[in-house]
Amino acid sequence: MFKTEYAKKVYEATEAKNAGQDEYLQAVKEVLLSLEPVVEQNPVLQKKGILERIVEPERQLMFRVTWVDDNGNVQVNRGYRIQFNSAIGPYKGGIRFHPSVNISVIKFLGFEQIFKNSLTGLAMGGGKGGSDFDPKGKSDEEIMRFCQAFMTELAKHIGSDTDVPAGDIGVGGREIGYLFGQYKRLQNVFTGVLTGKGLDFGGSLARTEATGYGLCYLTEEMLNCMKNDSFKGKTVVISGSGNVAIYACQKATQLGGKVVAMSDSNGYIYDPNGINLDVVKQLKEVERARICEYVNRVEGAEYHEGCRNIWGIKCDVALPCATQNELDGDAAKKLIANGVIAVAEGANMPSTPEAVEALQAAGVLFAPAKAANAGGVAVSGLEMSQNSMRYDWTFEEVDGKLQGIMKNIFHNIYDAAEKYGVAGDLVAGANIAGFEKVSNAMLAEGIIY
């Protein structure tokens, strides 16, 4: 698979050093394969060990989180923060609370974040954190106590100019509030140390909407530039029903698309009349209920057990917005057989390598996560700017900047693919364009002899 000795050697060494870390190795392999034309044309990258350095986190924190549940029982979870790369700015990236979290998952997310954050054009390095804590079925008090226990250790390692966490799966506005409160209590400073904060204490307008909206802005630009087309009149399928999926549904609908399906980890709903987003929001944002409940409230809708079968629904645009490796080779084949035009990744690494290969080979427009879901962290960057200024922009100002950033990202990745002889391959384009700024900074900042 590898054509250059250098990339191959670095991948094999990474594999040997990180045995069993499947998600992390999957993410590294894709990036190193894309970077082969870049390392071939720039021998200084090998001379200065850039690839060896970029696959090794600057710092990895793993810690015990002890908390007490509502029955008075002591519970222990594992916490993580991977401070992956700070060449272009303070570490920046979300925190995930989900039972599937392990070192491999957090490292793949932190690694991807380096390139994503670079693509936004803002000064943010890459990081990620989380815990194997399962928020499902926990009371509000349990969530609060867990967040406080988690932050009691994390607070020692983060700061508004050092490392700025945010939300991800299982971490939304409620959790960020509790985490922020505990940081402030411990450090006695009110700073922009987290993003995604509530609007009353330093949060940015449009951060809640940013990832889903940004995904649709980039998809619209891709449809427009590569197919002279748009969302208008398109049938759209969106997996997930969390933060990213909900606001992707809202924007896709505003742009003239009809979203006919959404899911959670149990199953999916199909609504031929177009998803009623108010119902989904009520269920997911207010009641924290399961998606199956939708069919009890909306006539004509169907519920099917098993979230993966959502990709069998005929659609023009597919937006995977749930989790990693949720769209595999078989799902890609179904989408292709049903005439899909575009797939854009709202989740991080939702498509398996087999799916990406099949979609690209079939000529389906494919926007990779690093570019397509960068709107969330981009507006996090804008939240940091507003916190530094101690001044807030309006929703329209932030949304306008987000649109500009997403259009820019599309053109940068499109142009990078063309420049390195892989025109139209936006996966390679995103990896290359994201890498260029980070590697330039690493070269400029030197190494200790």
In the block, tokens 């997930």 appear at 240
Q: Does 376 bind ligand 2IT (CB under 6 A)?
A: yes
What number of chain residues touch ligand 2IT (CB under 6 A)?
A: 11
Cβ-based nearer residue to ligand NDP, 122 or 245: 245
Under rule CB under 6 A, residue 195 binds ligand NDP? no
Q: Which residues pair with residue 114 across a beta bridge?
A: none
- 320 belongs to the binding site for ligand 2IT (CB under 6 A): no
Sequence-distant (≥ 6) Cβ neighbours of residue 399 within 8 angstroms: 206, 209, 213
What is the enclosing helix (H) or strand (E) of 366?
A: strand 365-367
Category of 134 on φ-ψ map: left (φ > 0), alpha (ψ -120 to 50) or beta: beta
Cβ density class 65-77: b for 16+ within 10 Å, e for less:
bebeeeeeeeeeb
What token pair was written down for 281? Answer: 């929001």
Of 67-75, 91-99, 333-341, 351-359: span binding ligand 2IT (CB under 6 A): 91-99
Residue 323 makes contact with ligand NDP by CB under 6 A: yes
Span interacting with ligand 2IT, options 92-100, 145-153, 234-242, 252-260, rule CB under 6 A: 92-100
Answer yes or no whether residue 14 interacts with ligand 2IT by CB under 6 A.
no
Query: CB under 5 to 8 A by kind: which of ligand NDP, ligand 2IT, none does 346 bind?
Result: ligand NDP
Per-residue CA distances from 94 to 197, 221, 256, 373, 403 (Å): 12, 26, 31, 13, 21
Q: Which residue is nearest to ligand 2IT, using beta carbons?
A: 94
Q: Binders of ligand 2IT among 100-159, rule CB under 6 A?
A: 116
CB 323 within 8 A of CB 244: no
Query: Tokens for 192?
Result: 């922009």
Backbone phi and psi for residue 269, each to the nearest 5 degrees, phi listed first: -105, 145
- Comparing CB distances to ligand 2IT, the nearer of 94 and 320 is 94
Which residue among 107, 116, 128, 251 is the active-site one?
Answer: 128
Binding mask 294-313 for ligand NDP (x = CB under 6 A): -------------x------
Rounded to the nearest whole angstrom, what is the least distance from the CB of residue 245 to ligand NDP in the complex? 6
209 lies in the site for ligand 2IT, by CB under 6 A? no
CA distance 445 to 369: 28
Task: Confirm or reject binding of residue 211 to ligand NDP (CB under 6 A).
Answer: yes
Which of 33, 164, 169, 248 touches ligand NDP (CB under 6 A)?
Answer: 169
Q: Does 130 bind ligand NDP (CB under 6 A)?
A: no
Smallest distance from ligand NDP to CB 229, Å = 25
Q: Where are the alpha helices (DSSP H) in 255-394?
A: 277-281, 329-337, 353-361, 369-372, 374-389
Q: What share of the chain is helix, strand, coil (3-state, %, to 5)?
A: 50, 15, 30
Is there a catalytic annotation at residue 128? yes
Q: Cite the active site residues.
A: 128
Interface ranges with ligand 2IT (CB under 6 A) = 92-94, 116, 166, 168, 195, 348, 376-377, 380
